[in-house]
Structure 1
């Protein structure tokens, strides 16, 4: 079957791989669309230390069950699904305390193990989420949006919060949407005016270009001089990490999603003087996925988050273009 393969940094192609036999408890999915994630871009650029090459990318799945393995009823054939693309060992501390999304030994599709950018892919039934009624394209948006939804849960956002989201790509979009759904006022920050325009359209109360000379003064004006009560870092670079801590209000909450890729120096007195709650946010829970599905069912215009749809044969040129201009893309879907 046809598959996209990242052979080495800067080298992607379409090849043929063998269709795997179904194991007990698995289903075979015919892929409609698979989203290209920032982690796939990092793999292509050689910046993902968790990847070994060659690697089939892809974990943002939209598909249909076409076959069931032993122990799974055939009545599920024909149902459209997405899935949680993470593994969990069940034995580490995270798993034993119910936070399986942060399993110490997690292996995400397309990262530590081959992903779903193939014509067919086998998935454990336990990892499926049924989403009848969603369009095929919306199905591929569930996983990336769920990561932002989870960050909002980690930040314990409520209706009297002012949330500043740093980075308005797909992950940041999820954080904006979920914060708005919880009744919070949202300040969206990015350096790309196109992304700020989208952030406004999905509910951000205010948008600020981080390159503005009066950036800090704008934040203070919008927060009555206090700073936001919650900052969510969704860009993964040194400046956004530092800004999240510098601009958050005293006793505020800071949530980090992105990997900065380098060690970062902080003025540590802010940790103590502000008595900050600083939290990492990794992947998403099943509840986050279900919340995104409910949101997408009620929002007909959510497909505006999709930058473009491509064929597998276009993957190499498109991801190369994205690597040269990483701020230009919200979401690219590969149609199989």
Structure 2
């Protein structure tokens, strides 16, 4: 089988790998049909993702078909179409035993810490498969992206009528937007790119947007939109340390700030601002199994429309060649879904 290996930053190589062995107890062999490309993959390609290790077969946003199952597997069977929960947890550490499987102390994400889905077949714990009888493979490949936003919104728990500011209109910010919509909160989206903000207005139905110009006008616009309250919830999905450091200024009194993106650089802020407003600062990492099941149901019943999301559909053979362009905002890519083939 052919697989795509990221040997080192900026260096893809097509390699030959063996077909997976028969699945062991609790395992399933899956055929990969679609793979989503996300910010983690792009950061890994650029060498900016702190958890990424090399050489690595990327790919953790997956729409797959079950080919075979091992002893004791009852949740899936051959022929099932599934989304993959790519967070492999040990089930034994303190975090796992408390239900925090998203931040297992021995956590391994497919395509980041261990090999992922840019290959035709591989073996995965069957408990990480989430079935749908209705969704297409490319929709199933979107579930993991949406799960990141779902978990972040669960962390900050917006209430109906609250103002929620989402900083960053890339895929993670947009995934958070989908779940803030379901809460009945008021949404404002902030980004550097007017192209992305236009997508938010025309395709995602959010009219309140703020373009970052770096001149202080962002805070003025937010103050005007919220009638002086600022945001009760701020979700920073940029992964940019400057944005994350500055995000506190947008949080209103007794508000919550969630960092979804990851940076390798320091985040700094003046503490009296946080203390005076009694802010709550939260991190959001990965997602939980229940998030995946919920998202499959939401897409199936039409509460989440996946049609605006997929802007690029490259073939497996073209992935290495298009990666440099996907790192550029002007490409206009919201989500690229790779067709791995039959």
Q: In which range does the TM-score fall when normalised by the shorter chain?
A: over 0.9
Tell me whether 1:95 sits opposite 2:99 in the alignment.
no
CA distance in 1, matches of 2:124, 2:56: 17
Q: 2:260: which partner in 1? A: 257
Could you report, residue by residue, the CA deviation over 1:306-334 in whole angstroms, capped at 9, with x for unpaired residues?
12011122111211222355874311111
CA distance in 2, matches of 1:120, 1:258: 30
> What displacement does 1:205 show?
4.3
Change beyond 3 A, Cα 1:242–1:307: same
- 1:17-28 counterparts in 2 under 5 A? 17-21=17-21, 22-28=23-29
Q: 1:121: which partner in 2? A: 122
Could you report, residue by residue, the CA deviation over 1:274-306 in whole angstroms, capped at 9, with x for unpaired residues?
111000000011222122222222058422211
CA distance in 1, matches of 2:96, 2:330: 34
CA distance in 1, matches of 2:185, 2:304: 22
- 1:1-336 counterparts in 2 under 5 A? 1-21=1-21, 22-72=23-73, 76-200=77-201, 201-211=203-213, 213=215, 214-297=217-300, 298=302, 301-325=305-329, 328-336=332-340
Structure 1 unaligned regions, length at least 5: none
CA distance in 2, matches of 1:326, 1:25: 44
Could you report, residue by residue, the CA deviation over 1:183-205 in whole angstroms, capped at 9, with x for unpaired residues?
11110111222322332332434
Query: Do 2:253 and 2:278's aligned partners in 1 also have CA atoms closer than 8 Å?
Result: yes
CA distance in 2, matches of 1:181, 1:324: 30
> What displacement does 1:10 show?
0.9
- Aligned-partner SS, 2:252: coil
Query: What's the C-alpha RMSD, in Å, of the aligned pairs?
Result: 1.9
CA distance in 2, matches of 1:144, 1:300: 13
Answer with 225-234 or 2-11: which moved more.
2-11
Structure 2 unaligned regions, length at least 5: none
CA distance in 2, matches of 1:205, 1:158: 19
CA distance in 2, matches of 1:40, 1:121: 19
Answer with 178-187 or 237-246: which moved more.
237-246
Change beyond 3 A, Cα 1:160–1:93: farther
Could you report, residue by residue, the CA deviation over 1:158-198 in whole angstroms, capped at 9, with x for unpaired residues?
21211000011111111111011111111011122232233
- Aligned-partner SS, 2:209: strand
CA distance in 1, matches of 2:336, 2:80: 24
Answer with 149-158 or 18-27: which moved more.
18-27
Answer with 128-137 or 221-230: which moved more.
128-137
> What displacement does 1:3 show?
1.0
Could you report, residue by residue, the CA deviation over 1:126-162 in whole angstroms, capped at 9, with x for unpaired residues?
1110122112211111001110111000001121211
Could you report, residue by residue, the CA deviation over 1:205-239 in whole angstroms, capped at 9, with x for unpaired residues?
41111127522111011111010100001011023
- Aligned-partner SS, 2:114: coil
The alignment covers a number of residue pairs equal to 336
Change beyond 3 A, Cα 1:212–1:262: closer
Query: Do 1:176 and 1:199's aligned partners in 2 also have CA atoms closer than 8 Å?
Result: no
Alignment TM-score, normalising by the size of structure 1? 0.94
Query: Do 1:192 and 1:327's aligned partners in 2 also have CA atoms closer than 8 Å?
Result: no
Answer with 1-10 or 42-51: which moved more.
42-51
